[in-house]
Amino acid sequence: MESKSLHIKLDQTQEKLKSILDMQDDVVFKELYIPGYDRSGIFVFVNGTMDYPAFNEIVLGLSSAQIEKSHSVSVEQLVISKICSVKDDEIETYEKAKEHIFDGKTLLFIDGIAKGYVLNLEREKTRNFTEPSTERVVRGPKMGFIESLKENIGLIRQYSSHPNLIIKQQKVGTLEKRELALIYYEGKASDRLIKEVNKRIDGVKETDLQDTGMLEELIEDTSFTPFPQIQNTERPDKVLSALQEGRVVIMIDGSPFALMAPTTITMLLQSPDDYYERWVAGTFLRILRYFSLFVTVFLSGIYISLVSFNPGLLPTELAMTIAGTRENVPFPPFVEAIIMELTIELLREAGIRLPAPIGQTVGLVGGVIIGQAAVQANIVSSLMVIIVAITTITSFTVPQYSFGLAFRALRFGAMIFSAVLGLYGTTLFFILVISHLSKLTSFQEPYFQPLDFIGKKTWKDAFIRLPKRKKGGRLS
């Protein structure tokens, strides 16, 4: 029934619309009168979506129209002339009317005209551009994306006016239609990559997406891995850098995060700071991140291995010191490590969920008090508290949050292998992780590609960052 054509009489149109929308209390019907033609009309829109200043301007223009008959201007021509700046479309069925109303549009119906006019008078609810909360830099742009796709695309266009920058938009979802944008540089991004990205997006068009995080999981190469195969960012400078490298960027309306594909492990360990500071400092920070990553995953496991299986590998004085700190601890090293690691993870998670001032207090005071109390109660050794604190600090050096989460989870795997097989288990787990990373791909590109630098030049921007005059840098 909803596909029936609109009535020519306004009262019948209004009655039909109200019957279709009888359960929607937020739909507003606002009457209009055009004195020059003695015609009535109605605006139909969802309360809260209207840009009222623009709406009032349209109403005032139509209500004050005094057109002399000699001008031979029809009422339809008058209406179109007054709404031309905001007119999006014309509809002739109730089905289309309902669709546009719940899409946030304003509809205008005039008595005697069997069609409706779709007006773009949406008041978009957005926050101001601010510094990205997950990718802060000491030096560099402080601008981050917001939840409006239109504003985000405008920000990219502001920083890049190149005519080869291609932006293709399409609708995805079934119940919730959302705008998705595919962005790339024509001539830099390969046709194979663009075709592959489009193919995967077409496969999820009927899925309701609330954020790019949901899309990332649906279009990645494999789900059976803790490692993200698509990089995400809130920073426009990283997006532009990725585009210049020939990568494809995906953005969704309602999400401040952009996806960049393909991705390699070295891209996830790079920070904009590497390129905004001098190359010596950038190289030092990058090498420090690789070291921190190893410490995050394996330090607790190495401690368990040395204390439980191979104490003879430690210097005598250090072995005696460790033995002294563990003299009254009733648990084996693995149990005390699990207790402290889980406690720290719980404190970290609680700190994220709580309001910012309280979260910082809980994280700091909770960690200090619990650690001190655990040592005094002989539940864990003081050295174990130090090791857990170090691994926690080093885990924060990873620029990509989701990538850091993967290695935080792997830390528990390394501890289990070390508790069962000692240093052999630690080494075995390291080999398993490297083998797994070597098998991963991102949009059919090797995940470990820059580390396979035999006969290649990609290693020059993987472990070190050369001066600008030697090599153009990237931020991604």
Q: What does residue 41 show for φ and ψ, rounded to 5 degrees?
A: -155, 170
Do 243 and 356 belong together in one domain? no
Give the model confidence (pLDDT) of 60-83 as tens digits. 878 776 654 445 677 888 888 888
Give the model confidence (pLDDT) of 80-117 as tens digits. 888 887 888 888 888 888 888 888 888 989 888 888 89
Q: Is residue 460 part of a domain?
A: no
Do 240 and 285 belong together in one domain? no
Per-residue pLDDT, averaged over 188-217, amounts to 89
Q: How far is CA 406 from CA 170, 229, 398, 433, 449, in A?
A: 32, 11, 11, 11, 19
Q: Is residue 473 part of a domain?
A: no
Task: Please tell me the predicted confidence (pLDDT) of residue 450.
Answer: 52
Do 313 and 437 belong together in one domain? yes
DSSP string, 408-434: HHHHHHHHHHHHHHTHHHHHHHHHHHH
Interior angle at CA 461, CA 245 and CA 236, nearest 5: 45
3-state secondary structure of 250: strand
Q: Is residue 464 part of a domain?
A: no
Task: Please tell me the predicted confidence (pLDDT) of residue 166.
Answer: 92
Which of 119, 137, 161 marks a domain boundary?
119
Do 89 and 160 belong together in one domain? no
- What is the Cα–Cα distance from 362 to 292, expressed in whole angstroms? 25
3-state secondary structure of 23: coil
Question: Given a cut of 50, is residue 130 above it in pLDDT?
Answer: yes
Closest by CA position to 285, among listed 369, 398, 178, 376:
398
Task: Please tell me the predicted confidence (pLDDT) of residue 454.
Answer: 40
3-state secondary structure of 445: strand
Which pair of tokens denotes residue 46? 């969802």
Do 307 and 446 belong together in one domain? yes
Q: Is residue 270 part of a domain?
A: no
State the residue range of the domain holding 358. Answer: 279-453
Q: Is residue 2 part of a domain?
A: no
What is the rounded (10 degree) CA torsion for 232, 234, 239, 241? Answer: -100
Residue spans of beta strands (DSSP E) within 216-289 = 231-233, 248-252, 258-261
For the chain, the domain total comes to 3
More confident residue, 284 or 123: 284
Evaluate whether 40 touches 33 at the Cβ level (below 8 Å).
yes
Q: Is residue 469 part of a domain?
A: no
Evaluate whether 153 touches 251 at the Cβ level (below 8 Å).
yes
Q: What does residue 396 show for φ and ψ, rounded to 5 degrees?
A: -80, -5
Do 180 and 312 belong together in one domain? no
Give the model confidence (pLDDT) of 411-445 as tens digits. 999 999 999 999 999 999 999 999 999 899 999 88
Which of 263, 291, 320 marks a domain boundary?
263
Do 292 and 437 belong together in one domain? yes
- What is the Cα–Cα distance from 305 to 102, expressed in whole angstroms? 61
Q: Is residue 286 part of a domain?
A: yes
Give the model confidence (pLDDT) of 272-320 as tens digits. 888 888 888 888 888 899 999 999 999 999 999 999 888 888 888 888 8
Q: What does residue 29 show for φ and ψ, rounded to 5 degrees?
A: -110, 110
- What is the Cα–Cα distance from 476 to 207, expressed in whole angstroms? 29
DSSP string, 341-370: HHHHHHHHHHHHHS-HHHHHHHHHHHHHHH
Do 162 and 80 belong together in one domain? no
3-state secondary structure of 209: coil
Q: Is residue 211 part of a domain?
A: yes
Which of 119, 136, 157 marks a domain boundary?
119
Strands lying side by side in the sheet with 258-261: 165-172, 178-185, 248-252, 258-261, 231-233
3-state secondary structure of 168: strand
Do 283 and 407 belong together in one domain? yes
Do 288 and 257 belong together in one domain? no
Do 283 and 258 belong together in one domain? no
More confident residue, 468 or 188: 188
Residues in the chain: 476
Do 196 and 286 belong together in one domain? no
Evaluate whether 290 touches 269 at the Cβ level (below 8 Å).
yes
